[in-house]
Structure 1
Amino acid sequence: MPLSDVSVTDAARAAGISRDTFYRHAPSVADLLAAALGAELDAAVADFAAAPGTGRERFETAEHALFAHIAGRRAVYLHAMSPRLASPVRVMLLERVEVSLRGYLAEHPEVAPEPDGALTGDALYDLYAAYGAAGTVGAIEHWLLGGAAGDPDAVARGVLAVSAPWWWRGA
């Protein structure tokens, strides 16, 4: 059922707990869902950080894992749309992707372009990671708006095709 139709009372009843117990673990049903999905994604984030291979190979592995996760939980993510992802779910995805990208830049600062201007180092890397994460999550939402139909690997390849190639140069 749509996430917006699930009440805390419904969730607590289904789990066999009181509303008070529910609220000790999460402020809302959407926050609880985001935490559960985030725990699943943490393994993919760790895999990206530890993945062997070139930068491009690491990004391919990560994108495929991310879109496979979304496809594997398609119904859950689709029910979290209204019309876009519920805020806690969207923020969870943004944070996971942003942390991954920021970690990659910390490991490979040589790949990041250095534009003219006041932003340098950490501030610039944070900006790049935020921009990359927002684009990835935007692509996920777009795919979900279309029913998340089709091959998740093809969608992952499409996202990589429009990603800035500097992410993996020299890494």
Structure 2
Amino acid sequence: MAQTKSRSAVALRDAVVELAQQKPADQINVSELCRAAGITRDTFYRYAASPIQLLAQVLNDDLDTYTALTRHLPAAPAGGTVMDAPSRAWLEHVCRFEAVYRQALRPHLPTEMRDVLLTRIQNFMLTHAARHPHIRPNIDGTVMNERGIRLAAAYAASGSVGAIEAWLASGPIGDLAVPTALIHASAAPWWFSPVDDK
């Protein structure tokens, strides 16, 4: 029984990605997804409440690599910044699902898809600030407090997601170094302060 569920889950995940490459994710209905995956509606509802929720799960799982990078962020490499690895990781994720993200733009991503990116990036910024409190800037002579960090992390995440939406809307992603550099150039400089991993 467990193997049957596993095969169904894989079939569903493959099917929702394939369909989302052909049409906006929020226009996929349960019936067509079930036909594509070769399963029943009852089976579908064991895994998700809607096709776009299932797609969000697929995208979220793919970003596990990104989250792994946030746990032990290394010091800035020579010729780069401390944000290079995590920024590249989530942009590589967008590249893997470029057709899915591009189809979904109208002109912004649906909430379910946008929230996956927002949550991962915001959590990374919060983790980074907590691990390296010395990077926090002074605001009117006082080090930025927790409330301020949450505001800054939310701002950084929203800006990053908005930037990639704009980049996708303007044409092929191309060389990842370009959107990475543009996003970094638009970010608050204090996020890029050197860190000590001792």
TM-score norm. by structure 2 comes to: 0.78
Whichever of the two has the greater Rg, that structure is 2
Answer yes or no: is 1:41 the counterpart of 2:68. Answer: no
Find the counterpart in structure 2 of residue 169 from structure 1: 193
CA distance in 1, matches of 2:185, 2:145: 26
Higher relative contact order (CA 8 A, sep 6+): 1
Find the counterpart in structure 2 of residue 137 from structure 1: 161
Alpha-carbon displacement from aligned partner over 1:60-84 (angstroms, at most 9, x marks no partner): 1111122122122111111222221
Answer yes or no: is 1:26 the counterpart of 2:37. Answer: no
Kept after mapping to 2: 8 A contact 1:97/1:133: yes
Question: RMSD in angstroms over aligned alpha carbons?
Answer: 2.2
Greater fraction of residues in helix: 1
Correspondence list, 1:9-158, <5 A: 9-54=31-76, 57-116=81-140, 121-158=145-182
| Number of equivalenced pairs | 171
**Pairwise CA distance, 1:57:** 3.2
**Pairwise CA distance, 1:116:** 4.0
* One-letter amino acid of the structure 2 residue matched with residue 159 of structure 1: I
* One-letter amino acid of the structure 2 residue matched with residue 102 of structure 1: L
Unmatched tracts of structure 2, length 5 or more = 1-21
CA distance in 2, matches of 1:116, 1:162: 23
Kept after mapping to 2: 8 A contact 1:105/1:112: yes
CA distance in 1, matches of 2:140, 2:44: 50
**Pairwise CA distance, 1:109:** 1.6
TM-score norm. by structure 1 comes to: 0.89
**Pairwise CA distance, 1:120:** 5.3
Unmatched tracts of structure 1, length 5 or more = none
Kept after mapping to 2: 8 A contact 1:42/1:96: no
